Every structure is written in structure tokens, then in C-alpha cells.
Structure 1
């Protein structure tokens, strides 16, 4: 359809977004990048015609992949982000004044540069924060090397095709665990279980072998079509047991206003429907 972007990530299901204006369309060494305006979602970034982020609903995804592990941990000082070239994940992590250092590893410098220009509201100045160290590198290669430990590791990957495929392997997760400090937490983008069940099942199989506490939690992001999105959770600590009162106290101390995350949503996100429970069993 002329004037529409058709995302056909799944064989039997697609979504369409109207393009009121195309602002950017170019192929890098790794993928095709496009930014267009949509009347409902504002500016939309797609990679190889798959929606990655929008101005309107990105807060849900970014808040749930950052505030859940950071507030559950309670004392996170060093955070590693793998992927996240649009800067939204760094934006939310850096809202925590208690976080002293953030390393962001992005494979494609082109993504970072054009997001700064065409989607500045997503990063909201995060790239200028002196606590952020931006590393242009392959995330899997970076994780294999020795380096400092982290209290929280966030894998903000694309779907397991193309450059993002290596970020869904057992080997990658094993290397990530090695980079966690004691009591550290690994969280991952694990797809939409209703239409990408194998993706979540594979992640949970690896996490169960690696971590004492391995599960997932959910959030509904409108442009990630097909139902609630799952986020993998792995730790050897007891952070998931943080009570509602503890989470509320930590959020108040952080002084952060959120659009989706609340302590109640945090706790409820780990209450899984039957079809998801069966996928991760």
C-alpha cells in the first residue's frame, strides 16, 4: 500500500503504519534505517521495515527494561546496555542519580548518529551525560572479553535475525553472566510470546541453566504487535522478592516520574498467563 509501512515480521500476521512523511531512508553496512512520521505514534524508527521505537510508546519498553531491574536490585552503580542505539534505554537508566557509570555497546554507529538527528526526543540528552560510555562494537565480541563487572546488564537487541541473532545464544548469555557482579541482574528483550514463543523458550532454557532465579515478566507495547512483550530475567540473588513497600520507597528516593512503571505494575508483571508459563517451563 502506497504511503504505508508494512511490517511482515511474522508469516501469518502483519501490521501497517501510515507514513505522513518520510524523514530518513538509508542503508548502512548492517541494515536499512528509516524514520517516518505517523499521526498516532509520532516519529517511528524501523530497521529492515520492523518497528524498533516510536516517540509515542517507547516509554513503556524503556521503563520496564530499566526500572524493574534497577529498583529490584536497590544498589545498582554500574549498568551495561547492549544495543539501544536510539538512546532511550540510556535515558531511563541515567534518570537514576545513584547509577555512577553506564556502558552502552552498539554495533552500528549509524544508528546512534541518525537517532541523535532524527529522534532526539528518544535519547533526551542521554548521549551528553558524562556517566555514559558509548562503545561501538559487536555486543557478543564485547561480552567475550574480560572487563569490569556490572550490577545490571540490559540486552536491548533487535529480533534474532541479522546482527541481533548472536545476542540470543546460550554462549552470549553465559558470557553476560560472567560480567555480572554478585547479586547482579540480567534482563533481555525476549519478543512477543504469542507469536514468538520459540524466542522466549530459548532464552529461558539458557537462563534456567545459568541462574538460580530465571523467569520473565511482561509489558504491553502497542507497536510490538501480537500481545504482551516478554523480558527475560536472570539473577542468582533474591532481587525479585523486593516487596511493594521496598520498591515504592526506592522509587520515591530516586525521584523519578514514570509513564508506565509503578511498583504495583512491577510486581504484577511477573504474574504470567498460562500460555507463557508453559513456554518457559
Structure 2
């Protein structure tokens, strides 16, 4: 929502809010389902909100996207096929495609309008990813695709909204079960799991499902300034040895990848799995 002084006020949580000043309102449309707005802010650049809740910003999206891509891909070490569920703004595809060893990226987005909207109003987020011949964009329901696909993916990234509305099905036990079946041997599943200080039940639910499915199930963390309430958690599930990769091997893979990220480093990668006590207690 917006108050009378030109601020976007996020009220995702009942007793906690954050505000971003609207320097220029670039788009504002209310559909039967949600209100979509894009505005510019001097610190974060262009900001996309759905019903007043920040989804992505030009200024800090790299943190979220780098940590959901480089962590599993570099931990795996030989990822060739990557599946992205969601990610209509193109930021996740952008970071995956920075890895020259990735041969195929399949991206499942439920709403073609989100892709076209993002190309028009947030082109810097995708940075040309939609034109990369390695990317296959499929407009479909992610949960249905996961049920029906042939699998064989080395990494699956679930870039979902919070578990409400269309995104709710992406947090169910059955969805995670189908995702595991779609992984190649030693494949890795990573998920967006919100801010555990404010959304602990979300992380606990995912971790309960992961513990039943994977021999290595945990989460790792990163701080994204525009997501209110502290550090974000990312679910991690695999039956392979990827999390145990030694620092020297990880550093060599990073060097060979030729990445110049703004947040990710091999040291951050290893440290992200060191969980604060309050987060560790949320994992069954």
C-alpha cells in the first residue's frame, strides 16, 4: 500500500513493516488477483511490488539470485541441466547462464505476462538471459510440470513467492517428492524459504519434508536488504556429497567459472550453512 507522503509501506507481517520511498511511480495496475506496481527508489533502483510486498529490486536482487544459483551449481561441480521453477523476472536464469558448463536451462513460469512485463519494466534483471539459446522457457504450472517431466536435472531451483495463492502448491510435500524424482543422481534441490525470524513455520514445513526425502537436508542463509525481518533461508536437499566439497576445490571451481559476483564468494558459500541457533531450532 501507499500512504499520502509517497512511501510504499509493506505489511506482509502483522506486527512489522518496512517502507520504501517512491521517487517515481512507473507502473500501477490492480487486477482481480493483485496490485502490481513498479517504482524507482534512489537506493534500490526500480522496485517491483505485489500487493505492496517487495518482490525484486534492481539494487539488491543479485544477492538472492547469486545465492540460489552459485551455491548449488558450484557445490555440484558438473551441473549440465538446470531447472528453474518460477523466476519470471529472469534474474535466476541470468545467474545460472553465467556458468559456461551449464548446457540447458529449463524455466517454468506460470504467467507469460510476468516475463513480458519484466522485459519492459525491469530489463536489467534478466540482462539478456531470455535471448540465450541455452534457455528453454515453458509457460506452464510448475507443480504440474514437475509431476510430468522426465527428470534428469542436476540442479532444481524453486524461485517461488511466499506460500500463498499460486505459490502455495510449491511448498507441499508432494511437490518436493516430485522434485526429488526429477533430479539426476547426486542432484540438488534448493528453495526460497522466506525470513525464518518472521516466517519460521515456512522453513520448518519445508525441512520436515526434506528430511524425509534426502540424506542431506538443511538450509543456508543470506541477508537481502529489502526482505524485511532479517536473513533469508534457502532450503537444500540432496542425496549426494555436494555440501561436503572442500574449500580448495570450491575456490578452484569458482576461479574456473570466471564469475565476478557482488555477494557470493567461496568463503560466503561455506559460511552460509553455519546456522544461528534460532534457525537451527526450526529444523526438525
TM-score (norm 2): 0.97
Name the residue aligned to 1:117: 120
2:16 paired residue number: 13
Corresponding residue to 1:138 among 119, 141, 151: 141
Task: Decide which moves more: 263-272 or 17-26.
Answer: 17-26
Aligned to 1:81: 84
Name whichever of 18-27 and 239-248 sits farther off. 18-27
The residue that corresponds to 2:274 in the other structure is 271
Moved over 6 A (4+): none
Q: Which runs of 5+ in 1 are unaligned?
A: none
Inter-partner Cα distance in structure 2 for 1:9 and 1:190: 15
For residues 127-149 of structure 1, give each alpha carbon's deviation from its aligned partner in whole angstroms, at most 9, with x where no partner exists: 00000001111111111113231
Runs of 5+ unmatched residues, structure 2: none
Q: CA deviation at 1:218?
A: 0.3
**Is the 1:30–1:108 Cα contact (8 Å) retained in structure 2?**
no
**Deviations 1:248-281 (Å, cap 9, x if unpaired)?**
1001111111110000000000000100010003
Please give the residue correspondences for 1:219-238 in structure 2 after superposition, counting only pairs within 5 Å. 219-238=222-241
User: Is the CA contact 2:171–2:206 (under 8 Å) kept in the aligned structure 1?
Assistant: yes
**Matched-pair contact (CA < 8 Å) for 1:30–1:163:** no
**Residue in structure 2 matched with residue 252 of structure 1 by the alignment:** 255
SS at match of 1:275: helix
For 2:90 and 2:32, locate their aligned partners in 1 and report how far apart those are by CA, in whole Å: 20
What pairs up with 1:191-210 in 2 under 5 angstroms? 191-210=194-213
Q: Give the total of aligned pairs.
A: 281
Are 2:37 and 2:50, in contact at CA under 8 Å, matched by a contact in 1?
yes
Q: What's the Cα RMSD here? A: 1.0
* Aligned position for 2:100: 97
Q: Deviations over 1:33-82 (max 9, x none)?
A: 21110111000011222111100100000000000000000000000000
